[in-house]
Structure 1
Amino acid sequence: MLRFFVSFLLALSFLQNASADVNIGTWNLEHLSVRPNKDFQGIAKVAQKVDFLAVQELMNEDALQALAKELTRQTGKHWSAMASHAVGRSSYKEMYGFVWRDDVVAYEDGAVTYLDRNDTFEREPYSARFKSLKDGTTFVVATVHILYGKSQADRASEITALSDYWAWLKDTYPGNNQIMLMGDFNTPPTSPAWDHLDASAKPLMLAGASTLSTTDGKFANLYDNIFVSKNTAIRVNDVQVFNYPKFLGMTHAKGRDSVSDHAPIFLSANFSGGSPSTASAQPRPTLPNPMKPAVIANNGAKNLTVAIRGNKKTMVYHRPDCPSYNAISEKNRVEFDTAAAAEAQHYHLAGNCH
């Protein structure tokens, strides 16, 4: 009887832990924008396999909202989305995006784009903190798209700079070792370039490949990955490259044309598993909300700002959550630290901001 009772408790514990699992994904969706040949139905059919998805190569916020809308339609559950501002040194720019299922994950705080003082990154990483509604634990997701360039040497400088970024993440979200850095690194985890990354970080994908080759069923490079801390409280139950062309029943040529030349990385994780999270033992700091302007200081060396954007042609200003935040042309854009600073210069809030 005692043996049965112990077995029952173990089985119950397993079921409870499994029910707390959150499925996380990262996917380079290759120039994601609303255009006729982009298969949003197919993308959503794959994306609904996870509860939270980090997106790289997002070209505009309308595309991310279209994906969230299609996910809501297909699953019958509401999905939310948030995007970074457009990043890039040249006229070509990209955005990062997060999309999540509202009954499983909630945005907590701290949505910020890294202020790269050394101007190393072509596209500065983007991060935010979220909460698992299954067990109330919080986790941090950071995403990046490393410059491909003309050779591995072109990528190496950004990979090296990730060491400083990883340290910055730990300083910016103190008391939370449940940090995940994910995206398209354009570099396999076996590259010597990774030797510079903080020794406390480790990749979850060590073998396989995530970019579509020209041959159906075959993949070329393991460029996409998810990094976590070696002492993280995250219990990883499964991580895989998801073969989306096979799942959708399409050729690689069709997939590359209508979906992406990358397959997503999917992770099943329990954020309350493993060793206790230090986040629950220490008071959590107040981090910036994209609804409000804020500045985070990092040891006095780096500051990260979520800025108010004004249009000097229309004398209207926009918060980061406003629909037209990224629509202001470069020549008309002016930034303020706060809404009050904008209003002091006789700017007024855009009418489509709620």
Structure 2
Amino acid sequence: MNIKKYIGLAILIMSFLTSCNTSITSKAITQTKPAITKTIGPPKTQPNEISIGTYNIQTFGKAKREKENIITKLADIADDYDILAVQEIKDKEEKTATYFLEKINAKKENNYSMIVSPRTGRTAAKEQYAFYYNNQKIEYMNESYMYPDEKDKFEREPYIAYFKTKNGNFDFILVNVHTQPKNATQEINSLTDVIKYIQNKNPTEKDIIILGDLNADGHYYNEKNTKQPLEQEKYFWAIPDNFDTTTAKTSNTYDRIIFLRENTLEDYTKKSGIDKYYKRWTGINFKELSDHYPVWAKFYTNKDTD
């Protein structure tokens, strides 16, 4: 074989090895999206699991709390969750959040606590956020605060709280959000700034979970635009686009649960749901409860590594 043939053969071999290496590298960095098991109904957890839910209770104030049949049903919904993030508490007297906790704990087997935000919003129609949590399974870590929205990007700045499970090792930070519909895209895109702020404030805690009424669908937000910050591959949406989270005739996924896949996907059971409670109750106008349904995701208590 002459030298030209040796050179030609060497080039072919190098080209083959390069193409193989490129293929292998490509496969190594490609991330799969694990299938989510979707449940229509409230969560049912195993001993090593917790349920985290979010519920926009439409215009939750004096008028709604004084309707006994309505507040009782809302309490029946709330105690299905180990932690429930609530949005749209509207009460100048600031009595509704506490009264709701009393109704949840009216069942003798329940032992729930609550943390609630200050009233927030640019207009007179201010709202509060709240977290209701089951003391038997969840411990509040005595740290909660409103995101310091110095550039005024949010109509209602997110409410942030730190929790851990009493059994197992899962600790996490929840970010309760209710975006302004007409400004939803900008506010959703700004949630990455909230995550960065939390990471700087709590550098050792990696499990940060965004949840709430993000208005992340319809003409408020284009969830198919992958150039948007929260649509990057590193974020995992545990409430995907095929969950219809409102009582309206249109199908929209406004309510979401989102986290960083690198840190929290190991803790996620791959099970999420939406509680369309009309399937288990009769004799009540469900739109009197809210124009949203609760959504939820389940997490393991014993697989955390941070």
Q: Distance in 1 between matches of 2:146 and 2:235?
A: 20
Number of the residue aligned with 1:33: 61
| Paired residues for 1:188-199 under 5 Å | 188=217, 190-192=223-225, 195-197=228-230, 199=232
| Paired residues for 1:144-223 under 5 Å | 144-149=177-182, 154-188=183-217, 190-192=223-225, 195-197=228-230, 199=232, 200-206=234-240, 207-214=242-249, 220-223=251-254
Contact 1:235 1:271 in 2 (8 A): no
- TM-score, scaled to structure 1: 0.66
Alignment RMSD (CA, Å): 2.1
SS in 2 for 1:74: coil
Deviation at 1:245, TM superposition (A): 2.4
- 1:256 pairs, out of 278, 287, 296, with 287
Query: Matched residues, percent identical?
Result: 24
Number of the residue aligned with 2:115: 82
Q: Where do 4+ consecutive residues of structure 1 move more than 6 Å?
A: none
Q: Distance in 1 between matches of 2:139 and 2:78?
A: 17
Q: Distance in 2 between matches of 1:72 and 1:165?
A: 33
Q: Residues 146, 132 of structure 1: CA spacing in aligned structure 2 closer, same or farther, 3 A cutoff?
A: same
Amino acid in structure 1 at the alignment position of 2:259? V
Amino acid in structure 2 at the alignment position of 1:146? T
- 1:97 pairs, out of 101, 107, 130, with 130
Deviation at 1:20, TM superposition (A): 1.9
| Paired residues for 1:1-354 under 5 Å | 18-35=46-63, 36-37=66-67, 39-60=70-91, 61-74=94-107, 76-149=109-182, 154-188=183-217, 190-192=223-225, 195-197=228-230, 199=232, 200-206=234-240, 207-214=242-249, 220-231=251-262, 232=264, 233-249=266-282, 254-257=285-288, 259-273=289-303, 276-278=304-306
Contact 2:52 2:297 in 1 (8 A): yes
Deviation at 1:181, TM superposition (A): 0.5
Q: Distance in 2 between matches of 1:119 and 1:271?
A: 36
Which whole-Å deviations, capped at 9, do the CAs of 1:63-108 have from their partners, x for residues lacking one? 1212211111125222111110011111111010011111111110
Contact 1:27 1:265 in 2 (8 A): yes
Deviation at 1:246, TM superposition (A): 2.2
Amino acid in structure 2 at the alignment position of 1:96? Y
Q: Distance in 1 between matches of 2:267 and 2:120?
A: 30
Q: Distance in 2 between matches of 1:180 and 1:64?
A: 22
Amino acid in structure 1 at the alignment position of 2:47? S
Gaps of 5+ in 1: 1-16, 279-354
Deviation at 1:141, TM superposition (A): 0.9
Amino acid in structure 2 at the alignment position of 1:227? I
Q: Distance in 2 between matches of 1:129 and 1:45?
A: 25
Deviation at 1:110, TM superposition (A): 2.1
Amino acid in structure 2 at the alignment position of 1:211? T
Which whole-Å deviations, capped at 9, do the CAs of 1:172-195 have from their partners, x for residues lacking one? 222222221000011137242872
- The count of residues paired between Structure 1 and Structure 2 equals 249
Q: Residues 63, 193 of structure 1: CA spacing in aligned structure 2 closer, same or farther, 3 A cutoff?
A: farther
- TM-score, scaled to structure 2: 0.75
Amino acid in structure 2 at the alignment position of 1:263? Y
Stretch of structure 1 that moved more, 80-89 or 60-69? 60-69
Q: Residues 93, 176 of structure 1: CA spacing in aligned structure 2 closer, same or farther, 3 A cutoff?
A: same
Gaps of 5+ in 2: 1-44
SS in 2 for 1:44: helix
